[in-house]
Amino acid sequence: MDPVILSTERLLLRPVGPQDADASYAACQDPDIQRWTTVPSPYLREHADAFTGTFAPNGWRDDSDYTFAVRLRDTSATGGAGEAAGNSEAEGAGVVSEGALVAMVGVMRRGESVAELGFWAAKEYRGRGYMTEAALAAARWAFESAGVERLEWRAEVGNAASRAVAEKAGFTMEGTLRAALVQGGTRRDCWVGSLLPGDLGLPTTRAYLPSRG
């Protein structure tokens, strides 16, 4: 998959690269990110370097894992927020300057036309709707450009913040999976939800026939 850049009203989503190592390392020192996500704990500089320099770029090359660095859009040099606004794809990195790292969001392939959405937000940027905005942008891209027909979200039971983002983005909660997530070397129960193209008013390649039971 060729890397793409997505732009929303407030955010710029672009493929993760080595230039994100410093900000990623700093953000992942947050105990909540280490507790509720699958990042290593303790999170060392070598982890940030490997993620931004190898793992994330390889995911795009392998067409298996598409991770975006979510940064604030700096419109001071472009004449205002109206330029390149919306859930559109920017044609080049120079369309809008980028600011601070707000979050990471990834779309991971899990099977035929199925992918999983994962994310974390930097502590200082939570509670402002940025994560929901980024999640929706990534979801729309997955449906429109990556051939995804079902997008899943999973989080350890108790991760209320992640669940709130998923629900605001339109995910339908489907239940609890026993021992379906490994965290800190221990199997844990997780919530699972799904988002379909139709939930965002988008068409799908194959028709969906829901059960009547």
pLDDT digits (tens, 9 = 90+) for 127-172: 999 999 999 999 999 999 999 999 999 999 999 999 999 999 999 9
Please report, for the chain, the start and end positions of each structural domain, with discontinuous segments joined by +.
5-149
Where residue 97 falls among pLDDT bands split at 50, 70, 90? confident
The pLDDT value recorded for residue 87 is 47
Burial classification of residue 210, based on how many CB atoms lie within 10 Å of its CB (0-12 exposed, 13-18 middle, 19 or more buried):
exposed
Q: Contact at 8 Å (CB) between 141 and 117?
A: no
176-181: average pLDDT: 97
The pLDDT value recorded for residue 77 is 53
User: Within its chain, how far is the Cα of 25 from the centroid?
Assistant: 17
Name residues whose C-beta falls within 8 Å of residue 54's C-beta, 6 or more positions apart in sequence: none
Q: Hey, which bits of the chain come out as E strands?
A: 5-7, 11-15, 65-74, 88-90, 97-111, 114-121, 150-156, 172-183, 186-195
- Amino acid letter at 190? C
- With vertex at residue 169, the alpha carbon angle to CA 75 and CA 98, rounded to the nearest 5 degrees, is 20
Half-sphere exposure (CA, 13 Å, Cβ side) for 133? 25
Where residue 12 falls among pLDDT bands split at 50, 70, 90? very high
pLDDT digits (tens, 9 = 90+) for 46-96: 999 999 999 999 999 999 999 999 999 986 654 443 333 344 444 344 445
14-26: average pLDDT: 97
Q: Contact at 8 Å (CB) between 84 and 96?
A: yes
Name residues whose C-beta falls within 8 Å of residue 166's C-beta, 6 or more positions apart in sequence: 117, 135, 153, 155, 173, 193
* CATH number at 5-149: 3.40.630.30
